[in-house]
């Protein structure tokens, strides 16, 4: 769910979701770590994001200075509206945040690959109208969705991970994290709590 109210070019919602919270994140990093969602290859996951269809209130806690060692957090509220297309094989959402600097808009496009049984996630901001590349990739297992990509942040090769968890019919949790040690440890920088407001 890449919903990044203060990122000039970015993560995800969705994502995260990515270049979600930092102005100096670009693509062209090593391949992301192997996803823990190995079982995703053994099941049809095209309806894994059905829970997100509809309208949600989002409370976001965002770290403005990831990997700095002295985190500074800001909080804001917004609305996420998600719609399905392609008979469930794809969906997209629009997120509007009431950020301190004014309204911020972003969107996430999610496409399901029936051959690999994985989802690919792209994020874009209305600020520049550019879809991030490469997309995040991953899937769900036991009610938890994990998605990864490799990026460069402040001249450092990092991994980015988006996680969907605590999913119920009326609530969900989204978290984006960065790793500088190949995925051994992760620092969360984007934490969102979603509460359903309509279908």
Quote the pLDDT of residue 113: 95
Note whether residue 50 is domain-resident. Answer: yes
* Residue 77 lies in domain: 25-198
Q: Is residue 10 part of a domain?
A: no
pLDDT at 43: 82
Phi and psi torsions of 137, nearest 5°: -140, 145
Residue 1 lies in a domain: no
- The string of pLDDT tens digits covering residues 33-69 is 554 444 444 688 999 999 999 999 999 999 989 998 8
- The residue among 84, 4, 7 whose CA lies nearest residue 46 is 84
Residues 6+ apart with CB under 8 A from 4: 10, 11, 12, 17, 18, 19, 20, 21, 62, 104, 106, 123, 125, 190
Instruction: Give residue 134's pLDDT.
Output: 84
Residue 155 located in a structural domain: yes
Classify residue 74: in a domain, yes or no: yes
Domain count, the chain: 1
81 occurs within a structural domain: yes
pLDDT of residue 13: 44
pTM: 0.80
Whether 17 is in a domain gets the answer no
Q: Which CATH number belongs to the domain containing residue 172 in this structure?
A: 2.40.128.20
Terminal Cα distance for the chain, rounded: 18
Question: Would you give per-residue pLDDT tens digits along the chain (199 residues)?
Answer: 443 433 323 334 443 433 334 444 454 455 565 544 444 446 889 999 999 999 999 999 999 899 988 889 999 999 999 999 998 899 999 999 988 777 889 999 999 999 999 999 999 988 888 888 789 999 999 999 999 999 998 889 999 999 999 999 999 999 999 999 999 999 999 999 999 997 6
Q: What is the pLDDT of residue 129?
A: 81
Q: Does a structural domain hold residue 6? A: no
Look at residue 9 in the predicted model and tell me its pLDDT: 31
pLDDT at 103: 84
Burial class (CB in 10 A: 0-12, 13-18, 19+), 184: exposed
């Amino acid at each position: 769910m890449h919903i990044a109210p203060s990122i000039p070019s970015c993560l995800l919602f969705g994502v995260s979701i990515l270049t979600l919270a930092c102005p100096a994140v670009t693509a062209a990093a090593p391949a992301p770590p192997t996803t823990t969602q190995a079982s995703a290859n053994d099941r049809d996951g095209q309806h894994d994001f059905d829970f997100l269809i509809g309208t949600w209130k989002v409370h976001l806690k965002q770290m403005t200075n990831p990997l700095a060692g002295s985190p500074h957090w800001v909080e804001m509220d917004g609305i996420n509206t998600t719609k399905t297309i392609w008979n469930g094989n794809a969906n997209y959402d629009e997120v509007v945040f009431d950020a301190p600097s004014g309204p911020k808009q972003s969107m996430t496009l999610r496409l399901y690959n029936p051959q690999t049984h994985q989802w690919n996630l792209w994020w874009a901001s209305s600020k520049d109208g550019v879809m991030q590349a490469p997309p995040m990739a991953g899937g769900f297992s036991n009610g938890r969705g994990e998605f990864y990509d490799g990026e460069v942040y402040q001249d450092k090769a990092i991994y980015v991970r988006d996680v969907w968890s605590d999913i119920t019919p009326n609530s969900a949790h989204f978290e984006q994290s960065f790793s500088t040690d190949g995925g051994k440890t992760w620092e969360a920088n984007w934490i969102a709590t979603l509460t359903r407001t309509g279908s």
